């Protein structure tokens, strides 16, 4: 059984090049295994992206709002949720 739903896995597969070169996964199962291994997090809103970075003590260098959502570690799932993958 997968840890992440298909929407999250597809968002990662489509956008993984923004964070990794070469790609780290080519199938949904490989993506799920990788995201589980790195303990990727799915949050429900842009506000929760900011809260996550703050709670984790990530230096955001003054980034806020849309700039945070453009960070390489953040993947827009497309349904209001965001996947955060710390490399």
Spans of all domains in the chain: 6-84
Question: Quick one: average pLDDT of 40-64?
Answer: 85
Note whether 83 and 38 are within 8 A (CB): no
Which tens digits make up the pLDDT trace of 28-42? 999 999 999 999 999
pLDDT at 63: 66
Instruction: Report the relative pairing of strands 41-43 and 82-84 from DSSP bridges.
Output: antiparallel
pTM: 0.90
Of all residues in the chain, the percent with pLDDT exceeding 70 is 91
pLDDT in tens, 2-38: 899 999 999 999 999 999 999 999 999 999 999 999 9
- Per residue in 57-74, pLDDT (tens digit) is 876 666 666 788 888 999
Q: At what angle do helices 6-15 and 28-37 cross, to 10 degrees?
A: 90
Pick from 43, 57, 45, 7: nearest CA to 28: 7
DSSP character for 20?
Answer: -
């Amino acid at each position: 059984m997968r840890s992440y739903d298909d929407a999250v896995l597809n968002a990662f597969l489509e956008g993984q090049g923004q964070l990794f070169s070469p790609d780290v996964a080519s199938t949904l199962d490989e993506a799920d295994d990788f995201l589980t291994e790195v303990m990727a997090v799915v949050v429900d809103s842009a506000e929760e992206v900011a809260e996550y970075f703050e709670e984790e003590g990530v230096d955001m260098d003054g980034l806020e709002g849309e700039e945070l959502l453009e960070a390489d570690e953040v993947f827009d799932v497309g349904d209001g949720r965001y996947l955060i993958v710390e490399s």
